[in-house]
Amino acid sequence: MSKGKLQKFADMARYPHVFEYPYSVADNVPFDMKGRWGESFFKNTRPIVLELGCGRGEYTVGLGRLFPEKNFIGVDIKGARMWSGATESLQAGMKNVAFLRTNIEIIDRFFAPGEVSELWLTFSDPQMKKATKRLTSTYFLERYRRFLTDGGLIHVKTDSNFLFTYTRCLLEANRLPAEVVTDNLYHSGLADEILGIRTYYEQQWLARGISIKYIRFRLPREGSLVEPDVEIPLDDYRSYGRDKRSGLEVSK
């Protein structure tokens, strides 16, 4: 029998590798590991990789298994979903995996300059109505710059043609060269064991015949960023309930 939400939250509260700082308490509860994740929690100086909007944590756990020489932190506000990856990694005894439950708008409160080397944005809500809520917008890229290493990697894996096109146009508008761009990952020859990690939601979109898109680029610390001035066709499958599948919640 699956556990209910209350029991999952109770589990998360006692998990040693889960840190819970939602927006509602972040101003009042001190967080003393900023700049000290390696020293205080992971007990090493290995690179730190974040998965933003980790949902059930498939990528956080999967990458942790593939790369024991790196540390991985899954970030999400949906604790009941995060419980799956948190529980799996705890039961597997993984020492290079942690989870942070918080709102993405305040992600820079938890990491010091240069503390993170890579970001994974896996199946983020495309937020077609408001650019500042898109996780690849200049609004968020400026926040990522505050803790990413100079030229840190950003991976974007999405089913959304809208988010894919928007991100590609943003890179072009800011002359940020993309290392990899494909609008059909599993027919591109690029789907290695890393990109082949499939989330719960990704499997749903594949089953419905929706192609998976992928972009990888580096974000320099310096330079101004501008939003692309383009009209982008909206995704035409909103009836599938994208809000229900998004593992990331933004403040109103």
CB 150 within 8 A of CB 220: yes
- Which runs of E-coded beta strand occur in 68-140? 71-76, 97-101, 116-122
The strand pairing partners of 215, in sequence order, are: 156, 181
Q: Cα-flanking dihedrals φ and ψ of residue 72, to 5°?
A: -130, 135
Per the residue annotation, which of 32, 76, 108, 125 is the catalytic one?
A: 125
- E strand map for 159-240: 178-182, 213-219
C-alpha 202/C-alpha 245 separation (Å) is 10
11 as an active site residue: the answer is no
H or E element, residue 14: helix 5-14
**In which residue are the tokens 């990888």 written?**
216
Largest Cα separation within the chain, whole Å, is 53
Residue 177: closest CA among 137, 213, 219: 219
- Looking up tokens 């690029």 gives 190
Specify the DSSP element, H or E, that contains 249.
none
Catalytic residues: 125
